[in-house]
Structure 1
Amino acid sequence: MFSLSVNDHVMIAHSLPHEFFGPAQALHGATIAVEVTFTREELDEHRVVLDIGEALALLDEALTPLRYTNLDEHPDFAGRLSTSEAIAEYIGTDLSTSLADRPEIGITVHLRENPRAAVSYTVANRP
């Protein structure tokens, strides 16, 4: 198995309006570090998992709709909690759509909202 990881970050605002989330119920900002790992069993004809420049561009395209946005007002999060897990799923789904013509490439999104906690989402069963 081969892998390529690229990273970036995104600054968002959101609230998690349920008592389960304690003080995070209130509107607050977050800078989220994002790392995406692309995998494949065999290298392509160019002997790469994915071109690094393309991987960076794909990640930037996935993050652009989230940058400096209040996710409480973002149409893709309307009516659902914008937890780190949900944000990772959103990014993974976007990347999966962008790579729909290359289903052999696996995608895992790793988010870190603070130095002590991280979440990951692996896109399952690529078409």
Structure 2
Amino acid sequence: MIYQLYPQVAHPYRYELNKDMHIAAAHFIPHEAAGSCANVHGHTYVVNVTVAGDELDESGFLVNFQMLKKLIHGKLDHTLLNDHTDWFDRHDPNRFPTTEVVARTIYETIQRYLDTLPHKPKCLQVFVRETPTSYVIYRPKVGER
């Protein structure tokens, strides 16, 4: 296995956790300006999630890796992203299943989960590689974490 290094986020937290996932999924961008991406096609996405915090939970984890995988891989792997209408929308460009929106929506999903934990870890960034030569990084603006 080849290990990927990702751009890092400077932060003041004691712990930083990174979880990699491979997600095989199809999508299409419902807009004429998308060119051939308006047709259904698939990718093996490489996703990396960075979570940080100062405190560990009662199990000694910042976050359980399995929970992160369940939240994202468990939902998206081997699906048509456009079918996830709770995440994506064919009429709102801010919710088309582009790589940018996929990264932001993964962030929002993970942060919602983290907000339920008593020790309040934070998702610092989500990296989504769509092809070997194209990727997106989503980071919340300062003050949103």
The verdict on a shared fold, with TM-score over 0.5 as the criterion, is yes
> Residues 64-88 of structure 1, C-alpha deviation per residue, up to 9 Å, x if partnerless?
1212111222212123310001111
2:23 is matched with 10
Distance 1:45 1:81, change over 3 A: closer
Give the CA RMSD over aligned residues: 2.2
CA contact (8 A) 1:89 1:121 kept: yes
- Cα distance in 2, alignment partners of residues 30 and 104 from structure 1: 30
CA contact (8 A) 2:19 2:68 kept: no
Q: Distance in 2 between matches of 1:21 and 1:45?
A: 44
User: Structure 2: which 5+ residue stretches go unaligned?
Assistant: 1-11
Quickly say closer, same or farther: Cα 1:62–1:123, change in 2 above 3 A: farther
Offset of residue 62 of structure 1: 2.3
Cα drift, residue 14 of structure 1: 0.9
Partner of 1:58: 68
In structure 2, which of residues 122, 127, 133 is the aligned counterpart of residue 105 of structure 1?
Answer: 122
State which of 80, 104, 124 in structure 2 corresponds to 1:89.
104
After superposition, the Cα gap between the structure-2 partners of 1:45 and 1:71, relative to the gap in structure 1 and judged at 3 Å, is closer
1:120 maps to 2:133: no
CA distance in 1: counterparts of 2:79 and 2:33, whole angstroms: 23
Distance 1:106 1:61, change over 3 A: closer
Q: Secondary structure at the match of 1:77?
A: coil
Residue in structure 2 matched with residue 36 of structure 1 by the alignment: 49
- TM-score between the two structures when normalised by the length of structure 1: 0.80
Quick one: distance in 2 between partners of 1:18 and 1:116?
A: 23
Q: Which has the higher helix share?
A: 1
**Matched residues, percent identical?**
28
Alignment partners' CA distance in 2, 1:82 and 1:31: 14
Between Structure 1 and Structure 2, how many residues are aligned? 121
Sort the Cα spacing of 1:119 and 1:49 in 2 relative to 1 into closer, same or farther, 3 A.
farther
Range moving further from structure 2, 93-102 or 71-80: 71-80
After superposition, where does 1:65-84 map in structure 2 within 5 Å?
65-75=75-85, 76-79=87-90, 80-84=95-99
| Mapped partners of 2:19, 2:105: distance in 1 | 17
User: Partner residue of 1:26?
Assistant: 39
